[in-house]
Amino acid sequence: MKVLIVGSGGREHVIAWKISQSPKVSKIYCAPGNAGIAEVAECVPIGAMEFDRLAAFAKEKEIDLTVIGMDDPLVGGIVDVFEKEGLRVFGPRKNAAILEGSKAFSKDLMKKYHIPTAAYETFEDPEKALAYLETAKMPIVLKASGLALGKGVLICQNLEEAKAGVREIMMDRKFGDAGNQMVIEEFMTGREVSVLSFVDGKIVKTMASAQDHKRAKDGDQGLNTGGMGNFSPSPFYTEEVDAFCKKYIYQPTVDAMAAEGRPFKGVIFFGLMLTPEGPKVLEYNARFGDPEAQVVLPRMKNDIVEVFEACIDGTLDQVDLQFSDDACVCVVLASDGYPVKYEKGFPITGLEKFKDADGYYCFHAGTKFDAEGRVVTNGGRVLGITALGKDLREARANAYKAVEWVQFDNKYMRHDIGKAIDEK
Ligand code: AMP
């Protein structure tokens, strides 16, 4: 089989690596890819939003399966374009990717189908939003409804901050069109857990749980980022929580999408808050999380290509998803200054140390080859150093050992990723 992957981050690297282990696959392409993905795939210089060029490439190369990693092309309808051309593609159609593309849609869906989530109101008129805030309980959460690179959420402690937030999102349009609509929701407290799942339009099968570290600095301080590292499984995701979520959140979400005439095929990422009243949905994503995929896929025992095909064919009931008992930790090596201002273009050394190191992985996020063919930094998040271990403590020790193998100027990381609660 020939497979094309669309995307260029650490998530697409781990997907490419996992696909490369399938005995069914003879050739992998990735558009546009990065320097790490180039180890397992042929990178093609076509952007993820160039749907027609991508489809033409898939036809020309007789690609058997295309896997879409990123949210933007999914929400933009890349799957519909590929299907129209008779191409086989893994990911939700546009009318299902709206689950991530519009928070107003997903909140209304949850309300209609009684899926537990924070109480909320939706606004299109900033004046109405400002008036609503006058009587609302603080703290409160403001969300730009559309895609905003994971940054369109503001947690406001008081009325003044909340009013400023409404102005930022809806009037100053800080997140562009994503702020045409806004969700204002109740502030929830509790532990956050992410659960990735495969969905075939009818049924859902969950992968392992993971826990993210979104803030830039140790001790969960500093600005929000795309993620500075994470670990799997989460010690808070107990069997009891799993049973509750299966019954009241996962399958009901898939059933709701089908009932709305928007059958979802692909990956649903459930962002959950374990509140004192029980688990509630924080958000849905319509694809693998990044870096959640980096800690979940190394633990997966199945041939991922078979699972992708089962999702497309609606035969996921026949798949027995299996994960190893290992724990996995991913520490992101970033460029100092991320997520605000940082320099790029520094050569990275030591990458070869991962070649024969079993259970250690170096997934590339922002890297490229320079004119001399050296691998150089090319983004805020540069590498995801990932390691397995028999438990969280061991996986963490392994990951922090491996972060020393690679060097580049302005290398920055957090030191407390996967730190067990009793170690804090
Ligand atoms: P989202 O993109 O909706 O997951 O929001 C990003 C982050 O904001 C989440 O991971 C939470 O840390 C926080 N957040 C979002 N919604 C709420 C809420 N209703 N209550 C408390 N924190 C929230």
Per-residue pLDDT tens for 173-183?
A: 888 888 889 99
Residue 266, beta-bridge partner list: 199
Please give the torsion angle defined by the CA atoms of residues 12, 15, 16 and 17, in that order, rounded to the nearest 10 degrees.
120
C-alpha R_g of the chain? 21
Q: Is the predicted pLDDT of residue 422 greater than 60, yes or no?
A: no
What pLDDT does 148 receive?
Answer: 82
Residue 153 CA to ligand 1 centre (angstroms): 7
Residue 281 CA to ligand 1 center (angstroms) comes to 9
Among the ranges given (14-28, 96-110, 167-181, 231-245), the one the predictor scored with the smallest mean pLDDT: 167-181
Phi, psi of 250 (to 5 degrees): -65, -65
Contact present, 185 and 143 (Cβ < 8 Å): yes
What's the pLDDT tens digit per position in 9-58? 999 999 999 999 999 999 999 999 999 999 999 999 999 999 999 999 99
Banded model confidence at residue 424, pLDDT cuts 50, 70, 90: very low
Q: Which residue has the tokens 């460029």?
A: 335
What is residue 174's predicted lDDT score, i.e. its pLDDT? 87
Assess whether pLDDT exceeds 80 at residue 117: yes
**Ligand 1 centroid vs 63 CA: distance in angstroms?**
38
Looking at the predicted structure, is the pLDDT value of residue 247 above 60?
Answer: yes
Separation of 282 CA from ligand 1 center, angstroms?
6
Q: What is the pLDDT of residue 88?
A: 98
* pLDDT on residue 152: 85
Percent of the chain at pLDDT > 90 equals 92
Distances (CA, A) of 177 to 106, 147, 345: 17, 9, 32
> Phi, psi (5° rounding) for residue 422?
-75, -10
Sort 215 into a burial class: Cβ within 10 Å, 0-12 / 13-18 / 19+.
middle
| Span 288-346, pLDDT tens digits | 999 999 999 999 999 999 999 999 999 999 999 999 999 999 999 999 999 999 999 99
Closest Cα to atom 6 of ligand 1: 153
- pLDDT tens-digit map of 381-397: 999 999 999 999 999 99
3-state helix/strand/coil string of 101-160: HCHHHHHHHHHHCCCCECCEEEECCHHHHHHHHCCCCCCEEEEECCCCCCCCEEEECCHH
Residue whose C-alpha is closest to residue 195's, from 265, 274, 103, 79: 274
**Residue from 273, 274, 281, 287 to probe ligand 1 pocket by mutation (most atoms less than 8 Å from CB):** 273
CA 158 – ligand 1 centroid, Å: 17
| Best mutation site among 138, 153, 183, 215 for ligand 1 pocket (most ligand atoms within 8 Å of CB) | 153
Q: How far is the CA of 411 from the centre of ligand 1 (A)?
A: 28
Q: What residue owns the CA closest to ligand 1's atom 11?
A: 282
Mean pLDDT of the chain: 95
Among protein residues, the one with the nearest Cα to ligand 1's atom 15 is 282
Q: What is the dihedral of CA 44, 45, 48, 53, to 10 degrees?
A: -90
C-alpha 292 – ligand 1 centre gap (Å): 16
Q: How many CB atoms lie within 10 A of CB 41?
A: 24
Residues with CB under 6 A from ligand 1: 118, 141, 143, 150, 153, 155, 185-188, 192, 271, 282-283
CA-nearest residue for atom 19, ligand 1, is 187
Question: Can you tell me the mean pLDDT for 120-129?
Answer: 93
**Residue located nearest, by CA, to atom 1 of ligand 1:** 283
Cα distances (Å, whole numbers) of residue 47 to 31, 52, 291: 6, 11, 21
d(CA 272, CA 259): 23
pLDDT at 90 over 50: yes
Distance 271 CA to ligand 1 centre (A): 9
Q: Which ligand 1 atom is the nearest neighbour of the CA of 118?
A: 19
Residue 152 Cα to ligand 1 midpoint, Å, equals 10
Q: How far is the CA of 134 from the centre of ligand 1 (A)?
A: 22
Q: Indicate the top mutation candidate among 282, 283, 284 to test ligand 1's pocket, ranked by most ligand atoms within 8 A of CB.
A: 282
Residue 108 reports pLDDT greater than 90: yes
Q: What is the pLDDT of residues 141-152, one digit of tens each?
A: 999 999 887 678
In this predicted structure, what is the pLDDT of residue 420?
Answer: 60
Nearest-atom index, ligand 1, CA of 152: 2
Residue to mutate, 106, 122, 141, 270, ligand 1, most ligand atoms under 8 Å from C-beta: 141
The tokens describing 166, both together, are: 């409404």
